[in-house]
Amino acid sequence: MSKSSQWIVGLNAVASALEHDAEHVREVLLEAGGKNPRILEIEQQARRKDIDVRRVSQQALDGVAGGVRHQGAAARYVAAKTWDEHELPGLVDAAEGKALLLVLDGVQDPHNLGACLRSAAAAGATAVVIPKDKAVQVNATVRKTSAGAADTLPIFSVTNLSRTLRELQKAGVWIYGLAGEAEASLYATDLTGNVALVLGSEGEGLRRLTREHCDGLVKIPMPGGFESLNVSVAAGVALFEAVRQRLA
């Protein structure tokens, strides 16, 4: 794991960082005169953990938030966790035949990525894999939308997604891509072992090379006649179908 520095903003994101990853929080900024009672809770939580707290103007928070709605709270991370892609096979091995991975092929919208991370964390996913190029990375908006999932879930930003899929296959992972034109139903697919669910970008879907590295393509049946779901909704449906099968 390597380390980098950044700001996280929003009440949920800051509270989650203090709860799950306080050792990497160096400073908390809170709006002077902020009326939300959760601001006081965050201040108390930070002070209990001997983290510096500063009351600042709304303009100062606007500056560090970079356009993201901060709700009167921001925190400076000096060491946000990032995972090296060579650590991924080890996580699969540790899952003892029950690895569940979410692979996102070029998601562009930070709100969609944040929602996908939230679903993945709720489903107990082993990890999430995203490409480094032509895809949104974990930023302040993603952290806020993920409601803390970005602080607790292993997220791998990989240089070559096709190569990573090949490595996962070598590690014994079955890879299923979601595509509207697929013949096989998600619900008729065995998702109880080592499985990676691959979803494409909002506009283009799965890229050709990504499709070629899948063991199979599956679709979510949609009797309502719509062609596709929002990527974060589709991710939630697919992940929790895997959860349902594993609990059964």
Domain coverage including residue 61:
2-81
Residue 23 CA from chain centroid, whole number: 21
Does 178 lie in the same domain as 96?
A: yes
Least confident of 107-111, 138-142, 156-160, 196-200: 138-142
Structural domain count of the chain: 2
Q: What is the mean pLDDT of residues 7-17?
A: 87
Does 98 lie in the same domain as 23?
A: no
Q: Which of 39, 61, 81 is at the close of a domain?
A: 81
Q: What is the mean pLDDT of residues 164-185?
A: 95
Least confident of 36-45, 138-147, 170-179: 138-147
Q: Is 31 a catalytic residue?
A: yes
CATH code: domain of residue 122 = 3.40.1280.10
Known binding site: residues? 200, 220, 229
Q: Check whether 115 has a pLDDT greater than 70.
A: yes
Q: Which of 81, 102, 135 is at the close of a domain?
A: 81
Give the number of C-alpha atoms closer than 13 A to the C-alpha of residue 75, restricted to the C-beta side: 31
Do residues 9 and 65 lie in contact, with contact meaning Cβ atoms separated by under 8 Å?
Answer: yes
Known binding site for S-adenosyl-L-methionine: residues? 200, 220, 229
Does 215 lie in the same domain as 108?
A: yes
Digit-coded pLDDT (tens) for 125-174: 999 999 999 898 887 678 778 877 887 899 999 999 999 999 999 999 99
DSSP structural state of residue 202: T
Q: How far apart are CA 2 and CA 177, in angstroms?
A: 29
Active-site residue, from 31, 204, 212, 227 = 31
Do residues 199 and 238 lie in contact, with contact meaning Cβ atoms separated by under 8 Å?
Answer: yes
Tally of CB atoms within 10 A around 2 = 9
Q: Which of 57, 81, 105 is at the close of a domain?
A: 81
Does 228 lie in the same domain as 118?
A: yes
Q: Residue 140: exposed, middle, or buried by beta-carbon count in 10 A (0-12, 13-18, 19+)?
A: buried
Does 238 lie in the same domain as 118?
A: yes
Higher-confidence position of 83 and 5: 83
Q: What is the pLDDT of residue 122?
A: 96
Percent of the chain whose predicted confidence (pLDDT) is above 70: 95
What are the angstrom distances between the C-alpha of 115 and each of 135, 217, 226? 15, 23, 21
Q: What is the pLDDT of residue 192?
A: 97
Least confident of 89-98, 108-117, 143-152: 143-152
What are the angstrom distances between the C-alpha of 151 and each of 86, 115, 136? 20, 14, 17
Listed in sequence order, the DSSP H helices in 49-85 are: 58-65
Does 147 lie in the same domain as 234?
A: yes
